[in-house]
Chain A
């Protein structure tokens, strides 16, 4: 009888060890951008992305097949739009996330409610949080997500090409000392612009413009009078869609022909996703922005 007991105990220990080895070998500990230690699977296969920008980054690394769920406005690339939705990034549906059985959720600090992240973690779903604040941290985010998905090389290549394109813009803009006043309008009613701590501001400055709304407030509001007083030379209006409505806004500005931007026909309506989503596409936004702010630099090149 005693012998049988020993065998049972030994057997149990062996099983426990086996389980322990299995579970420990396919997990790694990563430190996310909020400085938290997160235990993530060695090779995450069922990822739920909690923001459109994260979805884009995962797709940019050709790892879209690992995504099992995305948020409502994950519309780029078009394949992302076909994936199951787990609510919008500010109002996530906890049950839908859990039902997708994710082995990793990637969250964004600015927008995702912290309460949802905590709930997911209490349900033993690892949440890796990113916090991109400018182009540099976007590239860092690309590399970190690449690391999580074991595609470091691809991520490095992507970041290199981003860096290369940014350098090209920088050297192009360096040819002129002219810095036009740019009013970047993201909201219609009320009129809202972008302060210093935004992606759009960084792009304006890199593209050789002067953001007239710069300041400590991230999304300052303006009256028409205040905008006129700033006398912007370029107005860039961004929209998610609804081009018709934004045409109206353009006509609205055209009522003030004394404004340099109106006088010189420098009011543009562009896709907001290129300027405010922390993704590799910000560089596309930058290249577009240079053409809008400094068309003279491109004269003769085409």
Chain B
């Protein structure tokens, strides 16, 4: 372990640097693309303030596109880390907040919050958090009783919980009569279009401490994956670590759901891809998921707003279109 440390540190720094560059690159792309066309050069000059471009472009880049890009990056990071944690704790490579119904539970809570007229923060975030914790407990209760959480049992309980959540959401929507209905439907499909800097600030304040907490617990996660007995002998307080991680993850997921609705499969795509490239060490994977997940989500958001000629596709639709086939592929491969 002692000899491994400097190597790990070097590896961590290289990977972080590379992914940070990638994130910066797509963020720049996100700032320069949109319905109003402007050349990359003008965008660069506007960003670095070397050229006094017209006030309109300045406003669009700094006050409309920047919050949106930052919001996407935060959401992608949170969902990726969420997926990573669930996959490690449940020892199931197909676990993901959306597939397990945690996002659905958060969405139910959020819709109830919206219908009760709460503000996005803290009201709706809190009801979303309650919803996600409730579904988490439900899933754990349903799939417990076995010493090891079997893959199929867990996935099936997740699918059922998700279906139930979808039914409750449909019920709530069918009961809604007023004009809030449209807003709820757009939001539910994963809407990143209305972020402003205040929201980004609040979300960052919620998520960043969670990222650090998960990173801090990344070594115990490694040990947990090697087996509970081993982890215990290495001095890991299994219960405390598991509960802390689950609560922190649910908290992150519910925060993103209450701001951007249901964005699925991000927690599946990124952790898998990164694990494939960088190996199974969570001390590397956690920061990689934060940066890589952010990159992925920014790309999805760019696709969401540039693909259609008129209007935009909800970001959740894009992530599901990429993620669902991958899920089926992974399921098939793991069945072999």
Which A residues lie at the B interface, using CB under 8 A?
72, 85, 87-88, 90-91, 93-96, 98-99, 101, 110-111, 113, 115-116, 119, 122-123, 217-219
Contact = CB atoms under 8 A, between A and B. Distances in A.
Contacts of B36: 95-96, 99
Would you call the interface of chain A mostly helix, strand, loop, or mixed? Answer: mixed
Interface in B297-327: 310-312
A115 B59 contact: no
A111 B179 contact: yes
Nearest to B61: A95
Interface in B253-298: none
A110 B194 CA distance: 19
B194 A98 contact: no
Contacts of B193: 93-94
A122 B194 CA distance: 13
A101 B310 CA distance: 19
A95 B177 contact: no
Interface string B43-84: 000000000000010011001110000000000000000000
B182 interface: yes
Given A93-B35, A94-B193, A98-B56, A87 B182 contact: no
A111 B183 CA distance: 9
Contact of A115 (B56, B177, B182, B194): B194
Contact of A95 (B64, B179, B182, B310): B64
Interface of B: 34-36, 56, 59-60, 63-65, 177-179, 182-183, 186, 193-194, 196, 310-312
Given A110-B179, A217-B177, A219-B177, A95 B194 contact: no
Given A93-B311, A217-B177, A219-B177, A122 B196 contact: yes
Given A116-B194, A119-B196, A93 B63 contact: no
Which 6 pairs of residues, A with B, have the shortest CB-CB distance? A99-B36, A90-B182, A95-B64, A115-B194, A96-B35, A95-B34
A119 B59 contact: no
Contacts of A122: 63, 196
Contacts of B63: 122-123
A217 B177 CA distance: 8
A146 B336 CA distance: 72
Given A85-B310, A87-B311, A88-B311, A95 B196 contact: no
Nearest to B56: A101
Given A95-B64, A98-B59, A218-B177, 10 more contacts: A93-B35, A93-B312, A94-B64, A95-B36, A95-B65, A99-B35, A116-B194, A122-B63, A123-B59, A219-B177
Given A87-B311, A99-B36, A113-B183, A94 B194 contact: yes
Contacts of B64: 94-95, 98, 119, 123
Contacts of A99: 35-36, 56, 60
Given A96-B36, A119-B194, A91 B56 contact: no
B96 to A, nearest CB: 28
B29 to A, nearest CB: 16
Contacts of B56: 98-99, 101
B307 to A, nearest CB: 14
A218 B312 contact: no
